[in-house]
Structure 1
Amino acid sequence: MKTETITLPGDVPGNTIELRVLRFEGKDANAPTAYLQSSLHGGELPGQAALHFLVPLLQKAEAEGRIAGNITILPQANPIASNQWQGYQHLGRFEFFTQTNFNRAFPLLPDFNTSALPEIDAPVPLAGRLKATLLRLALPHEIVLDLHCDDQSENYLYIHQDFLPDMYDLAAALGSKAILSWDSTADAAFEEACAYPVLQLPGDARDMKRRAVTTVEFRGLADVNFDTGQSDAQGLYRFLAHRGVVKDEDETLAIEFNGPVTPLGNVEMVRAPEGGMVLYHVVPGDEVGEGDALVTIVTRPGDPSGDVTLVAPQAGRILTRRSLRYVRRGDDLLKLLGSRPSAVAKRPGALEA
């Protein structure tokens, strides 16, 4: 394994950030290549734990000459977000200066040529140069896995509809409970920016069986421990072996994904109509029927007449919920995977800001 440090100058003198890039060189020029990154939002650590335990597996494979395709790993893809703290709280989802989600507004390139992207010392704000650098690292690879997590959540994937069903093997390898399929590039998330050049190719030139581009949601923020980290690492390794990036005859994968594949338009984003204390009736993984109670918001403590109980607008599966128990009017509370389009007007693009 070779370790490279990419240093990006900050926006004012005396400030820099460093990207630590881990590279494994493949022995087969015809093998697919893979790029894996975690912590684009700084504090989403389940993916970082998975990569921490994956690296030793790859080092063993490298020592035994079993790395077929090039592998690039960024365990900490966003040092800017990692360093954003205020009032003893880590706040890594939005860049402080612009309030833009770090996983939005990536350049959408018409092909795989990255020469027009800003260089690391270009007269462009640091966040833009970081995004350009991440794309330069990722786009040469056929497999791109962006590892995130939700708040309180099951394990699930975001996958562009054109990559399905060829990516069911990833869902099976990671034990994903659901897939959210999308077809919009309104927000230009990292996954979208990596899928976009592929989608510009003619259908017969895409070679989707070699490709995989996705956002992996490894459960919730607090699901960071030895067991899940090692299990997720083994799932990633099994997928890389299945795709031929790593050679390992002991790893087999039965492609049996039986979870729901839900278009984003069928996801019910249940939001708080008023602020207050949150009391949940459901947990992620629950199957609910239309009209079942999901959450009660206590708006006037001590006066039950102020309670607001929200019910399921359709039958489905509870995928995620917020960990906060005190919310504002309009806050997201949970995601419910339905079988029909939601009747609630959606913002274009991603489900959440």
Structure 2
Amino acid sequence: MTVNTSTIFTGSAGAGSQSEIIKHTFTGGDNPRSVYIQAGLHADEHPGMLVIQHLLKELEVIDRACGINGTITLIPFANPVGMMQNVLGFWTGRFNLANGENFNRNFPDLAEELEALHSNTEWVELSPALQLDSLLMPKAHEDVVSAGKRALLREAVKHDIILDLHCDTAAILHFYTNERYRERAINLAAALGIEAVLLESFAGGGAFDEACTKGWQWLADKGLEPAERIPFSVSVELRGQADVSDELAADDARRILSYLCAEGFINTEIPVTQPLHRDRIDTFPLEGAVHLPSPANGLVVWKKQLGDWVKKGECLGEIASLDGKACGQRVPVYSPVDGRILVQPLTAMVRIGQRVALIAGKELQQDRKKGKLLLNF
């Protein structure tokens, strides 16, 4: 029975400023499997950070009762650089202000690196786990954000289950994962009370959840590791940015713990959290998700709300125009698909082209291509 707290130094964020990632690891029992949970990769998304605080408190109690079976690693905030980006009182932790890059894009592509290095016989003699670890060793003169990504990935790829806690602007609970794990995804959704699951085979963009699997996928494709070793890696959207409360976080934490109990990581009794009936869970192809752009500048007034099912051509709301002679006129916003509204803006003021809704549909959209499914907003 062990609880270990450590820090991962990722470099200097500027003169007089150092960047560290805090890691809490609980170990116990004889279960060889491990789970990794992080929050705050987008540092302006705070619900997951509070969930981690509740998980820490609960796991400390479980650990004292010798209830940990396996390894559970928690990263309370995964992006210390983003945590420092406050502009005039507003947290701007989604994009790196140094270059505009989304913090959850362009993680190292371990499949490409393995492909390039596997002609080296000395390299092939290393175990797959050591190969991945070696590729993710710190690099000299690497900027602090890149070093942080490398450090997070180096830690996460060791694990069997990876939960990356996010949120959207205003949203219902949903999550993203690979279609290879459809059944496991439904089990997780039932435990967490999530009705909408988006599945993909290759999203592209170098997001963290997919980066965690690409090296193992390459090894499995080459017959060097069983496919079962590919981590079950999930990006969980814990509602919207404003949904930060002890009540929500405590329930989310209990649901995560009940899932870990079902997966064999906890062997003490967890307060019962009613799982969602599997019949209420819908899976959607990520190629069927539509990021609906605003047709006008103005104030969006909704007729349909988060979680509503809508039909193609149905009016979702109106934009109260603020432009010139059109000021005061209403511009309707129509759904381009049959589907469910997962996301809306947090604020009512929108501009032309800005996303005003994420609608998950069942039918593949012609303009949605594998490898180019993640937008950079």
* TM-score calculated relative to the size of structure 1: 0.92
Aligned to 2:116: none
Aligned to 2:125: none
Aligned to 1:91: 92
Q: Distance in 1 between matches of 2:207 and 2:133?
A: 17
Deviations 1:205-226 (A, max 9, x none): 1227x94210000001011101
Paired residue type of 1:275: N
Aligned to 1:263: 285
Aligned residues of 1:168 and 1:255 also touching (Cα < 8 A)? no
Q: Distance in 2 between matches of 1:335 and 1:223?
A: 18
Kindly state the Cα deviation for residue 64 of structure 1 after the two structures are TM-superposed. Answer: 1.3
Aligned residues of 1:300 and 1:307 also touching (Cα < 8 A)? no
Distance 1:352 1:262, change over 3 A: farther
Secondary structure of the residue that 1:48 maps to in structure 2? Answer: helix
Secondary structure of the residue that 1:231 maps to in structure 2? Answer: helix
Indicate the larger mover: 194-203 or 300-309: 300-309
The yes-or-no answer on 1:327 pairing with 2:328 is no
Secondary structure of the residue that 1:67 maps to in structure 2? Answer: coil
Secondary structure of the residue that 1:248 maps to in structure 2? Answer: coil
The yes-or-no answer on 1:164 pairing with 2:185 is no
Deviations 1:307-335 (A, max 9, x none): 21011222221111011211222100001
Indicate the larger mover: 146-155 or 14-23: 14-23
The match for 1:190 among 190, 196, 208 is 208
Aligned to 2:168: 150
The match for 2:228 among 192, 202, 207 is 207
Deviations 1:278-333 (A, max 9, x none): 11221111122222211211224795774210112222211110112112221000
Q: Distance in 2 between matches of 1:94 and 1:69?
A: 35
Q: Distance in 2 between matches of 1:275 and 1:127?
A: 34
Kindly state the Cα deviation for residue 115 of structure 1 after the two structures are TM-superposed. Answer: 1.1
Aligned residues of 2:297 and 2:352 also touching (Cα < 8 A)? yes
Aligned residues of 1:31 and 1:244 also touching (Cα < 8 A)? no
Aligned residues of 1:106 and 1:189 also touching (Cα < 8 A)? yes
Kindly state the Cα deviation for residue 114 of structure 1 after the two structures are TM-superposed. Answer: 2.1
Aligned identity (percent) is: 29
The match for 2:310 among 288, 291, 310 is 288
Indicate the larger mover: 284-293 or 138-147: 284-293
Distance 1:21 1:148, change over 3 A: same
Paired residue type of 1:140: K
Q: Distance in 2 between matches of 1:212 and 1:69?
A: 16
Aligned residues of 1:242 and 1:251 also touching (Cα < 8 A)? no
Q: Distance in 1 between matches of 2:190 and 2:13?
A: 43
Unmatched tracts of structure 1, length 5 or more: none
Q: Distance in 2 between matches of 1:18 and 1:337?
A: 37
Distance 1:176 1:254, change over 3 A: closer
The match for 2:372 among 339, 348, 353 is 348
Secondary structure of the residue that 1:2 maps to in structure 2? Answer: strand
Q: Which runs of 4+ in 1 moved over 6 A?
A: none
Secondary structure of the residue that 1:129 maps to in structure 2? Answer: helix
Secondary structure of the residue that 2:228 maps to in structure 1? Answer: coil
* TM-score calculated relative to the size of structure 2: 0.86
Unmatched tracts of structure 2, length 5 or more: 112-127
Q: Distance in 2 between matches of 1:198 and 1:163?
A: 14
Paired residue type of 1:116: L
